[in-house]
């Protein structure tokens, strides 16, 4: 149960949504299943209430979630264009303007009310949001979107249930990760009982990889190294190896899960090229706070799952070195 402060904040967010007629939805760069799923749930709730609503993403989402578009339309923002007319902006699955890419500056300069619906740790300092719908303990923003929808009096229909299920399953690794507690399992059960086609969602998200993916993963795993007596695993793959196998490795959870599956491993990091930069994904098993490590390197995320985009010009050796040092320091600081 959220405390009084959080409760008042949530009521403010709900009141803003109730009084708004043209709602613009968005989310973080390279939207994943949770980010898209949360937006889809809200989209259908607002439409059911007779409001105008559109989803505008800062850049193209991860392709494996394209199936959600059959039931929920979205557009990708033209970098030159202003934000479309709206009287409320709602951003899902992030609460840092920097995670909106170039859209962040437009949002910051705008006077229009804005809400973040999120489950990531909040940035310190002054909040850039008019109101927050935030719960650090929620396993997925998609579940927060369901709560939001129900608080507005809208019971989710089949489209919203499928979207919320996709959000929950992708953020919990199909209910495997440490964020999958009773709340996640109960929500999953009620969505499944409501008719979600789980086999279809699994197939769309996890069984439609490109033919080069297994060999792309093999290339990545050939660069696997262990440190700190096997408590730390680090791996990387470069553009040339991925191109050679026609592998995109859009989603790295499989690689990270495999590294984290090794007995004795507590923290893992994987480096790969993305949009011309080095992108790191960090995961831990139970004690290392990889959000703290990612933050020192300019990224962020959750305690057990975080990411970093290294600045332009960073070499593989530099990125690898700073990741290794950050994780080593975190492991050595443990009691
Ligand atoms: P992934 O490694 O799957 O891309 O991301 C894991 C988690 O870290 C997600 O919660 C994601 O939102 C967050 N994350 C990934 N990349 C970044 C980044 O560059 N900056 C921040 N602040 N968070 C990130
Ligand atoms: Mn999420």
Q: Which residues pair with 117 in a beta bridge?
A: 92, 133
Indicate whether 202 and 259 sit together in one domain: no
Report the predicted TM-score, pTM, of the whole model to 2 decimal places. 0.94
3-state SS assignment for residue 68: helix
Please count the structural domains in the chain: 2
In whole angstroms, what is the distance from residue 98 CA to residue 311 CA?
13
- The per-residue pLDDT for 223 is 97
Q: Which residues, 6 or more positions from 277, have their beta carbon under 8 angstroms from its beta carbon?
A: 309, 310, 311, 312, 314
Looking at 163, 178, 206, which one is the last position of a domain? 206
Maximum CA extent, the chain:
59
CA 19 to ligand 1 centroid distance, Å: 32
Atom 24 (ligand 1) nearest CA: 307
Q: How many whole angstroms from its chain centre is CA 218?
A: 25
Residues, CB-to-ion distance under 5 Å, ligand 2: 34, 93, 141, 171
**Residue 224 and residue 309 share a domain:** yes
Per-residue pLDDT reduced to its tens digit, 205-234 = 999 999 999 999 999 999 999 999 999 999
Give the pLDDT confidence score for residue 5 in this predicted structure. Answer: 67
Per-residue confidence (pLDDT) for residue 227, from 0 to 100: 98
- 217 and 162, same structural domain? no
Q: Starting from the CA of residue 310, give the closest ligand.
A: 1
Q: 262-321: per-residue pLDDT in tens?
A: 999 999 999 999 989 999 999 999 999 999 999 999 999 999 999 999 999 999 999 999
From the alpha carbon of 291, which atom of ligand 1 is closest?
8
Note whether 128 and 56 are same-domain residues.
yes
pLDDT at 142 (0 to 100) = 98
Domain holding 78, by residue range, is 3-206
Q: What are phi and psi of 145, to 5 degrees?
A: -65, -35
Ligand 1, pocket residues at CB < 6 Å: 28, 96, 99, 281, 299-302, 305-309
| Distance from Cα 172 to the centre of ligand 1, integer Å | 14
pLDDT attached to residue 318: 98
Give the mutation target among 307, 308, 309, 312 for probing the ligand 1 site: most ligand atoms within 8 A of CB: 307
pLDDT of residue 251: 83
pLDDT in tens, 132-158: 999 999 999 999 999 999 999 999 999
Q: Which residue has the tokens 């967010």?
A: 13
Mean pLDDT, the chain, as a whole number? 96
Cα of 92 vs centre of ligand 2, distance in Å, is 8
Tokens 């607002």: give the residue: 46
Are 116 and 30 in a shared domain? yes
């Amino acid at each position: 149960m959220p405390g009084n402060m959080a409760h008042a904040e949530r009521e403010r967010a709900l009141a803003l949504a109730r009084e708004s007629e043209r709602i613009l939805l968005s989310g973080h760069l390279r939207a994943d299943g949770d980010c898209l799923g949360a937006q889809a749930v809200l989209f259908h709730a607002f439409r059911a209430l007779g409001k105008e609503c559109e989803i505008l993403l800062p850049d193209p989402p991860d392709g494996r979630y394209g199936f959600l578009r059959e039931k929920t339309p979205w557009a990708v923002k033209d970098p030159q264009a202003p934000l479309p007319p709206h009287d409320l902006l709602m951003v899902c699955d992030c609460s840092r303007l920097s995670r909106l890419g170039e859209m962040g500056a437009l949002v910051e300069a705008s006077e229009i009310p804005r809400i973040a619906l999120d489950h990531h740790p909040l940035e310190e300092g002054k909040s850039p949001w008019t109101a927050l719908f935030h719960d650090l303990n929620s396993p997925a923003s998609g579940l927060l979107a369901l709560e939001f929808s129900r608080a507005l009096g809208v019971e989710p229909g089949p489209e919203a249930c499928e979207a919320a299920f996709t959000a929950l399953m992708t953020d919990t690794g199909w209910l495997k990760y440490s964020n999958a507690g009773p709340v996640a399992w109960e929500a999953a059960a009620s969505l499944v009982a409501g008719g979600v086609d789980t086999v279809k969602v699994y197939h769309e998200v996890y069984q439609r990889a490109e033919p080069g993916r297994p060999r792309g993963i093999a290339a990545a795993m050939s660069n696997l190294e262990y440190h700190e007596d096997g408590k730390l695993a680090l791996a990387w793959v470069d553009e040339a190896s991925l191109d050679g196998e026609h592998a995109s490795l859009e989603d790295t959870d499989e690689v990270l899960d495999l590294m984290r599956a090794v007995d004795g491993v507590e923290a893992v990091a994987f480096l790969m090229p993305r949009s011309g930069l080095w992108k790191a994904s960090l995961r831990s098993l139970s004690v290392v706070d990889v959000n703290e490590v990612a933050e020192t390197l300019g990224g962020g995320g959750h305690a057990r799952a975080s990411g970093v985009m290294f600045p332009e010009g960073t070499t593989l050796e530099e990125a690898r070195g700073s990741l290794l040092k950050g994780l080593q320091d975190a492991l050595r600081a443990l009691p």
